[in-house]
Structure 1
Amino acid sequence: MAQPCVLLKHGEVVLKGRNRGRFEELLQRNLRTALDGIGDAVRIRTGRSVTVLSGPVPVEQVVERVRRVPGFNVVQPAIAVPKDAETVAEAAVGLLRDRAPGTESFAVRARRRDKDFPMRSAELAGFVGARIQRELGLTVDLTSPAVEVTVEVDRKEVYLSTERIPGQGGLPVGASGRAVALLSGGYDSPVAAHRAMRRGLRCHFVHFTGAPYTGPSSAYKAYALVRQLTRYQPDARLYVVPLGTAQRSLATAGAGRLQVVAQRRLMVRVAAELARRVGARALVTGDSLGQVASQTLSNLATVDEASPLPVLRPLLGWDKTEIMEEAVRIGTADISRLPDEDCCRLLAPPRVATGTTPGQFARLEGRLDVERTVEALLERVQVMRPGREGAEGPRAAAVA
């Protein structure tokens, strides 16, 4: 009898050499976490380039979860049948029978991972296709079929599928270490964090509010954004830092047109100290080159100079349309378009300096006593774990 299952095709992991085992171990660990609560009885079997989920599989729920796990390129709901050509052909006819009223053409693609199977791939595809054509009267179209049946011969059974759902691709989360992502309430930074996750970085998040001069709306948005992003990477921390008093101090110290860049330099210093405490080795931002005045090449370099850690910018060459389209795809766009009080607009000058150098900030930051300011901000940070009930205490940032 045909049994429902889900095939997960591995991404870049298959290109790894001697350390491939470590990547696959992380991939399977992340998969088990994604299935937590619905996949207790699901059997997970991993081959050289595919993972098979079988048993009492709640297919729709499983697909919804696993398609968000970075490291898998393709997710295929499928059925598993015994390794017999007649049985395979009969199962393929059954798959298409329900779809036949709206299906005029089809193609069969066969692949043998078990080379001992008596039929070659092309022979098996032809055999199955002939049966479908004879019993359902459909037209063979190998170029642009209305439906494509994939037949994969494995060691113990044969898998048939008519659906290929794109996965996240990339590397398993955790394969590249940890990072702290600076998260605003806009479109860019959540997309940048997601791209970092796809490159194997496990991200924690820091959000700066304008408190006490602004309300809590931006923190609510940040919480919602991280909650959405935890669907790709579970159990992330969100650090909420009230920056308003420090912003006022910069303005009082005479920042003028340097205000916005000075704030960003302070943000990366705070984020870098948080990163040190949680064992992260890089920062991630949503900067896109030239998108706004603070993101000119010279301003980005000035901000980088203030950080003891590498500042990664996954969206550096993206335009706004590309970023917004990706935000829709990953599910953060609806949250990002909600109104809030962005701390970057607080005390922002009418015109922002577009060409700065680190030397311009020495006297200004000396007046502020930056190291003491960073420590004071961290004493007031609130730590949350979206997806879990409640929040940790205000001094929790000191805990790695």
Structure 2
Amino acid sequence: METVVVVRYSEIGLKGKNREWFEKKLIDNILKIVKPAAVNKRYGRIIVRIGRNNADLILERLHYVFGIQNYSLGVSVGHDLEELKQVVLDLAKKHVNEGLKTFKINAQRGYKDFPMTSLEINREFGAYVLQAFPHLKVDVHNPEFEIGIDVREKEIFVFSGKIQSSGGLPVGVSGRALLLLSGGIDSPVAGWYAMRRGLELQTVTFLSPPLTTEKSEEKVLSVGKVLSKYLPNGLRMWIVPLTEVQTYIKENAPDEYSLILQRRSMMRIASMIARRVKAKAVITGENLGQVASQTIENMAAIEEASSLIVLRPLVGFDKVEITNKAKEIGTFEISIKPYIDSCVAFAPKHPATRSNINELREIEAKLGKLHELEFEAFKSRKSYRIVSEE
């Protein structure tokens, strides 16, 4: 008998001829995030063999592996009916001691040479449980607990309960993207949703020293530590000093357009970094209509400065939904710490809500030093590599 975790996926199962590649990527990610553990593939299932490792720690770490729909802690036994019976009764006893009163046996027979059909397993082992615990009742529609019996060629998996995970696709199958990570609530959540769609992330943060302090940088790095838990190879973070670019724009451009011009500069610098690290997209936490810079006209004007596709995972979310997700993934309490980011430091009093791309280009054409200052900011970038310690 061996302690195992039965891991299930959903979307990967629809990948047809590419399914094996997605499964391999998921297994690789499990091995890197859940370590130490041994992992095997069974058709439609991935088995994590715990051995003497800490089961609670492995169950917690599996939560950070995108591509997993749900998983169950259980045991592996041989094709020995007496041993199987004892395992099922022990599991039922655990739930009886928790005060549960209705149950169901749910058997699957993947190995067709096993001498009992799935229906026969359900009936026989349900009878075993009822004989041992006469006060229990069978409820096949809405049981308080369910014991799964999964018969495979070389072993049988027995488990109870399913821990829901985040689903999606394994990180890395969709390529690499660069997340514009600010000190606010939205961008970490945008990064989470991007990773859920299989994107490996790096981040870039623009700061404005001395208006933004070391605390602002520490805040962003703390968010990075949270996001790094979902990344099998850790998180590369870039910090770019933008003060000279922002000051130049503030002093030489119309104030109502200064924020949009700053964002366009950020996009150009982010595109430089993205090309350097072979990222194929830029991700932002923009949400349509949330603030003045996030009208559709301003978003189009900002995106036009990027040489890469701009992804906005949160474009249709409202603030309540974003905040709830930030609390769920553990970034909210960090994001609300009162250390300003670069946009706040140079925010105009009355920002334009509907900018014109041609007009912005004309303004930029008159800012002779702008691209030079952007390149200097790019060259002054700092890099951190964050690896989850958990």
Rounded Cα–Cα distance in structure 2 between residues aligned with 1:348 and 1:384: 27
Extract structure 1 runs of 4+ deviating beyond 4 A.
none
**Secondary structure in structure 2 of the residue aligned to 1:385:** strand
- For the 8 Å contact 2:244–2:373, the answer to whether it is kept is no
**Secondary structure in structure 2 of the residue aligned to 1:290:** coil
**Secondary structure in structure 1 of the residue aligned to 2:107:** strand
1:194, distance to aligned residue in structure 2 (A): 1.0
- For the 8 Å contact 1:211–1:245, the answer to whether it is kept is no
Report the equivalent of 2:230.
232
**Secondary structure in structure 2 of the residue aligned to 1:252:** helix
Code of the aligned partner of 2:48: L
Rounded Cα–Cα distance in structure 2 between residues aligned with 1:115 and 1:187: 52
- For the 8 Å contact 2:22–2:170, the answer to whether it is kept is yes
Deviations 1:137-179 (A, max 9, x none): 2121222222121111122111111121112211111111110
Report the equivalent of 2:86.
90
Give TM-score scaled by structure 2 length. 0.94
Matched, 1:274 2:270: no
Rounded Cα–Cα distance in structure 2 between residues aligned with 1:196 and 1:311: 12
Between the aligned residues of both structures, percent identity stands at 35
> Of the candidates 49, 53, 72, which is equivalent to residue 48 of structure 2?
53
1:44, distance to aligned residue in structure 2 (A): 1.5
1:115, distance to aligned residue in structure 2 (A): 2.2
- For the 8 Å contact 1:253–1:364, the answer to whether it is kept is no
Deviations 1:173-227 (A, max 9, x none): 1111110000011121111111111111111000111213221222111101111
Give TM-score scaled by structure 1 length. 0.92
1:295, distance to aligned residue in structure 2 (A): 0.8
Q: How does 1:316-331 map to 2 (within 5 A)?
A: 316-331=315-330
Report the equivalent of 1:394.
none
Code of the aligned partner of 2:172: G
Deviations 1:105-158 (A, max 9, x none): 112212122222222222212221121122112121222222121111122111
Rounded Cα–Cα distance in structure 1 between residues aligned with 2:100 and 2:24: 41
Deviations 1:5-37 (A, max 9, x none): 11111232221123333222222221111133x
Q: How does 1:92-171 map to 2 (within 5 A)?
A: 92-101=88-97, 102-137=99-134, 138-171=136-169
Rounded Cα–Cα distance in structure 1 between residues aligned with 2:120 and 2:162: 23
Q: What is the root-mean-square deviation of aligned Cα atoms in Å?
A: 1.7
Report the equivalent of 1:78.
74
Matched positions, count: 384
Report the equivalent of 2:218.
220
**Secondary structure in structure 2 of the residue aligned to 1:203:** strand
Report the equivalent of 2:14.
15
**Which ranges in structure 2 are unaligned for 5 or more consecutive residues?**
none
Rounded Cα–Cα distance in structure 2 between residues aligned with 1:113 and 1:167: 24
Code of the aligned partner of 2:289: G
Rounded Cα–Cα distance in structure 2 between residues aligned with 1:120 and 1:263: 67
Deviations 1:25-65 (A, max 9, x none): 222221111133xx1xx332112221112233421111111
**Secondary structure in structure 1 of the residue aligned to 2:106:** strand
**Secondary structure in structure 2 of the residue aligned to 1:155:** coil
Report the equivalent of 1:398.
none
